[in-house]
Amino acid sequence: MKSVYENPEYYEIAFSFRDIEAEVDTLERCCRDHARLQVKDILEIGCGPSPHLEELLKRGYVYTGLDINQVMLDYSAQKARNLEGNASFILADMIDFTPSKTCDLAFIALGSLCARDTADIFSHFRSVASALNEGGLYFLDWCIHFAPFSAQEDSWTIEQENIKVTTHYSEKPVNVVHQLMEETIHLEVLEGETTSSLRETSIKRVIFPQEFLQIINQIRELEFVGWWNNWDLDKPLDSIKDPAKISRPITLLRRK
């Protein structure tokens, strides 16, 4: 079966349910409220097809996308060539990377933090700390696990022009002691009269809220700012009592 990540166009359609303009509004509000510098240079970690690229360039930011998949980076670079603005791309592992320049804001979307164990988590956050300018921010979307450690499934369909993509997403615990979750993305694609099926399965180390705070406390360069529900900075997660009502939680760190 074909790989999801080797087909960036279908992957981008599958996750195009997001309101990118509104999400960039939220990023900008975080910068206004919590950054201690003027934000210009932005690094997207695990950028994939770089869905935020066009909106960020339109607003005058300098964009850098980092990903471990060259096919995704080539796709994003082609998009950038058709846009006005300053964009560059880095082939690197988010667990251990050293960008050629520092940034003012780093962000990671849709739970794309791909750590396999605790050592990976520490390495990732230390890499991010070294990439951020003092006073800069790290914005994480859906990377901290506020839900119970249990199996989850979801499906949705999105159609753009003559391409219809049905996405089946699932996650299931495979090792409770090591907090490992198996994540599967399965895309069923109908393009014209041609059908194809793509699948991607990966193992991720789940990070729970209180251990996340303990991890950040051990990384001296970073400090915790806050966390909120569903990309809404007026809905702090501490006020959400029912875990079933938590969706796409966002978390914000700052470089000391």
Give the whole-angstrom CA distance, residue 33 versus residue 75. 33
What's residue 17's pLDDT? 97
**Model pLDDT, residue 213:** 98
Return the pLDDT at 1: 79
Per-residue model confidence (pLDDT) at position 116? 97
Low-confidence stretches of the chain (pLDDT beneath 50): none
Q: Please report the pLDDT score of residue 168 as a whole number.
A: 98
Domains of the chain (ranges plus CATH)? Answer: 2-145+207-255 (3.40.50.150), 152-205 (2.20.25.110)
Measure Cα distances from 45 to 97, 144, 190 in Å. Answer: 10, 16, 30
| Segments in the chain forming alpha helices (H) | 8-14, 20-34, 53-58, 70-81, 118-131, 209-217
pLDDT at 81: 97
In the prediction, which pLDDT does 256 show? 98
Report the sign of the C-alpha dihedral through residues 22, 28, 30, 33, in that order: negative
Q: Which residues contact 160 (CB under 8 A, 6 or more apart)?
A: 13, 16
- Structure tokens given for 26: 């939220």
pTM of the model: 0.97
User: Which residue do the tokens 């014209």 mark?
Assistant: 192
Contacts of 139 (CB under 8 A, 6+ apart): 27, 30, 105, 106, 107, 108, 250, 251, 252
Express each pLDDT in 30-74 by its tens digit.
Answer: 999 999 999 999 999 999 999 999 999 999 999 999 999 999 999
Q: What is the pLDDT of residue 99?
A: 87
